[in-house]
Structure 1
Amino acid sequence: MSAQQPPSAPDVAKPRSLAYRIWDSDVFFSFRRSPVTIVAAIVTAVLVLAALLAPWIAPYNPFDPSSLNLMDGFTPPMSEAMMGNYFILGSDHQGRDVLSTILYGSRVSIFVGLSATLFAMALGISLGLVAGYVGGTADSVIMRIADVQLSFPAILIALLIFGVARGIIPPSRQESMAVYVLIVAIGLSNWAQFARTVRGATMVERQKDYVSAARIMGVHPLFILIRHVLPNVMAPVLVIATIGLALAIIEEATLSFLGVGVPPTQPSLGTLIRIGQQFLFSGEWWILFFPAVTLVLLALAVNLLGDWLRDALNPRLR
């Protein structure tokens, strides 16, 4: 009689990897189900990567005076210039390749928009947490300032801040500091939306049991805000930041178009559009058209990603 085999241990499910759990989450499930969002993500990734890799993929360096030739100016798209250079998207009045200027200009626009959004988000989250958790006089002062700022268009606030900063900075340093002044101006004109959203979410979170338990245990209020409250108010902040990024890029382009943005030595998409607008009615349409299309595609794609993120993080729509 054969010996009985011991019962086999039940199979234990192997833990799934972090990458698989993220891919199988509700957020990425909604991403895979939305063709528009997938296209928007691809367009955003292509434009951002092209801007980051501009020094390596741009056909020419448009900001190297030794490589420019005025005889190559106003070359139409897909044409060979008089000096033998071939321009896919044409050249501008200085003989610069339009494709190369778009790649380099996108770097400035994306850098300024992203930096300004991060600055506005950091300032708005900090003030919103203080207003919502502390309350009282601090809440009243912060929210009244936010209400006053929201009553004016953001572009006017940015123009005011930019003008004040240019008056304070010495003329010899204005060109080198122009990008950073632009970042601060755009950031200070957009912090109020973050502050109001975080304040409302913080006022809800501070009434919950886990915050009361932390208070009873003697946890420092700053630790409570950073460790417990902040992670629970980040979902709406990410949505505002995504949409705010597109608005910041458009705001930077508007300021540069008005001539108060980045200096001509490091032009952005807005500066390229301002330059192209001067030659639109003389027949050189490509100098304006291609930078404008790039700006529209970038802002539209980021906006669509923000709309998807808003729906994906809304528990009522799941």
Structure 2
Amino acid sequence: MTEAPPPEAPVEAAAPARGFWARFWDSDVFWSYRHNPVAVVSSLVALTLILAAVFAPWIAPHDPFNPATLQLMDGFTPPGEAAMSGTVYRFGTDDQGRDLLSTILYGSRVSLFVGFAATLFSMTLGVSLGLFAGYRGGLADTIIMRVADVQLSFPAILIALLIFGVAQGVIPPNKQESMAIWVLILAIGLANWAQFARTVRGAAMVERQKDYVSAARIMGVPGPAIAFKHVLPNVLGPVLVIATISLALAIIEEATLSYLGVGVPPTQPSLGTLIRIGQRFLFSGEWWILFFPALMLILLALSVNLLGDWLRDALNPKLRQ
């Protein structure tokens, strides 16, 4: 008599695939963020300041660039005191009677736009040149890296001043004011591309020796496709760190250039322009005209810089505790 076959073991149901947000919540980077109070506070400060600048037309108490709303008799009103018109300004007013809080919010929009655009431009240029130099090698690598070495031997602000001066000499006088912001973005971007290029070049030289690049070459994949589709995603970690820190530096460089009088025009003042205006009245007792724009610049640059430091530690396993 044949024995009955043993009962089959019950098949366990496969675990449901975890969603993106569940994987993100348990990732090492977000775990590091949740357990780093400095990163949490700095990100909240940076996000608050950026949103306040983006939504300035809706949250600012006044429009500082509308001449119909200006009250010259309200000029030099201290913070929290009632002006001659009866209006109370939280941050006081400047020499033209403009609400300083509204002016700072609108000025932050210009500084942030220049900072983000210049960082994006320098990152695109530096990553492209660094990837080309590291993957291709040879004479192209030598030329690009020697140019980067020469540029890194000078302060970025001097290079930006030189580029800005040359561009202003080429642009017709009747278009200089309308193109000043774009010239400023070009100058700051060209002054900061070398850091991206050197970092990406070093990482690309390591990646091009790996097996997956050799396999792609054997399969006949073109060189540019290998560089951008296979090598580039593996070198983006250091690029994000440099981009975050470069954003803070670009905002400071824009403020420095505007403070020196070679940045954005007075009709579109940034934080640097407001600081330059406030410096004229510092020793006459109107301290708030300089203090509040400078405080905004410090908070914005410091919070973004601290985020960059945290991101560097979170993406580098050797620096994790």
Q: Same fold (TM over 0.5)?
A: yes
Q: Give the equivalent residue in structure 2 for 1:207.
A: 209
RMSD over equivalenced CA pairs, Å = 1.2
Superposition deviation, residue 282 in structure 1: 0.3
Superposition deviation, residue 9 in structure 1: 4.3
Partner-residue secondary structure (3-state), 2:272: helix
Partner-residue secondary structure (3-state), 2:249: helix
Superposition deviation, residue 17 in structure 1: 1.1
> What is the alpha-carbon distance in structure 1 between the residues aligned to residue 62 and residue 28 of structure 2?
44
Q: Give the equivalent residue in structure 1 for 2:272.
A: 270
- Which of residues 180, 185, 188 in structure 1 aligns to 2:187? 185
Amino acid at match of 1:41: S
Q: How does 1:23-38 map to 2 (within 5 A)?
A: 23-38=25-40
Amino acid at match of 2:264: V
Deviation string 1:129-177 (CA, Å, 9 cap, x unpaired) is 1110111110110011001100100000000000000000001110010
Superposition deviation, residue 10 in structure 1: 2.0
> What is the alpha-carbon distance in structure 1 between the residues aligned to residue 197 and residue 46 of structure 2?
27
Residue 72 (str. 1) matches residue 74 (str. 2): yes
Shift of the 7–138 alpha-carbon distance from structure 1 to 2, 3 Å rule, reads closer
Partner-residue secondary structure (3-state), 1:252: helix
> What is the alpha-carbon distance in structure 2 between the residues aligned to residue 169 and residue 28 of structure 1?
47
Partner-residue secondary structure (3-state), 1:176: coil
Q: Give the equivalent residue in structure 1 for 2:45.
A: 43
Residue 225 (str. 1) matches residue 230 (str. 2): no
Partner-residue secondary structure (3-state), 1:93: coil
Single out whichever of 78-87 and 182-191 deviates more from structure 2: 78-87
Residue 309 (str. 1) matches residue 311 (str. 2): yes
For structure 1, the residue ranges without an aligned partner over 5 or more in a row are: none
> What is the alpha-carbon distance in structure 1 between the residues aligned to residue 180 and residue 258 of structure 2?
11
Deviation string 1:226-267 (CA, Å, 9 cap, x unpaired) is 110000000001000000100000000000000000000010
Q: Give the equivalent residue in structure 2 for 1:97.
A: 99
Percent of residue pairs identical? 73
Q: Give the equivalent residue in structure 2 for 1:145.
A: 147
> What is the alpha-carbon distance in structure 2 between the residues aligned to residue 60 and residue 12 of structure 1?
60
Residue 279 (str. 1) matches residue 281 (str. 2): yes
Q: Give the equivalent residue in structure 1 for 2:243.
A: 241
Q: Give the equivalent residue in structure 1 for 2:3.
A: none
- Which of residues 194, 197, 209 in structure 1 aligns to 2:196? 194
Superposition deviation, residue 30 in structure 1: 0.2
TM-score (norm 1): 0.97
Q: Give the equivalent residue in structure 1 for 2:127.
A: 125
> What is the alpha-carbon distance in structure 2 between the residues aligned to residue 155 and residue 317 of structure 1?
31
Superposition deviation, residue 20 in structure 1: 1.5
Superposition deviation, residue 6 in structure 1: 9.3
Deviation string 1:33-65 (CA, Å, 9 cap, x unpaired) is 001110000000000000000000000000001
Q: Give the equivalent residue in structure 2 for 1:115.
A: 117
Deviation string 1:68-97 (CA, Å, 9 cap, x unpaired) is 011010000011110122200000000000
> What is the alpha-carbon distance in structure 2 between the residues aligned to residue 81 and residue 215 of structure 1?
73
Q: Give the equivalent residue in structure 1 for 2:258.
A: 256
TM-score (norm 2): 0.96
Superposition deviation, residue 13 in structure 1: 1.8
Partner-residue secondary structure (3-state), 1:66: helix
Q: Give the equivalent residue in structure 1 for 2:4.
A: none
Amino acid at match of 2:193: W
> What is the alpha-carbon distance in structure 2 between the residues aligned to residue 216 and residue 131 of structure 1?
21
Single out whichever of 305-314 and 7-16 deviates more from structure 2: 7-16
Partner-residue secondary structure (3-state), 1:308: helix
> What is the alpha-carbon distance in structure 1 between the residues aligned to residue 144 and residue 120 of structure 2?
19
Partner-residue secondary structure (3-state), 2:92: coil
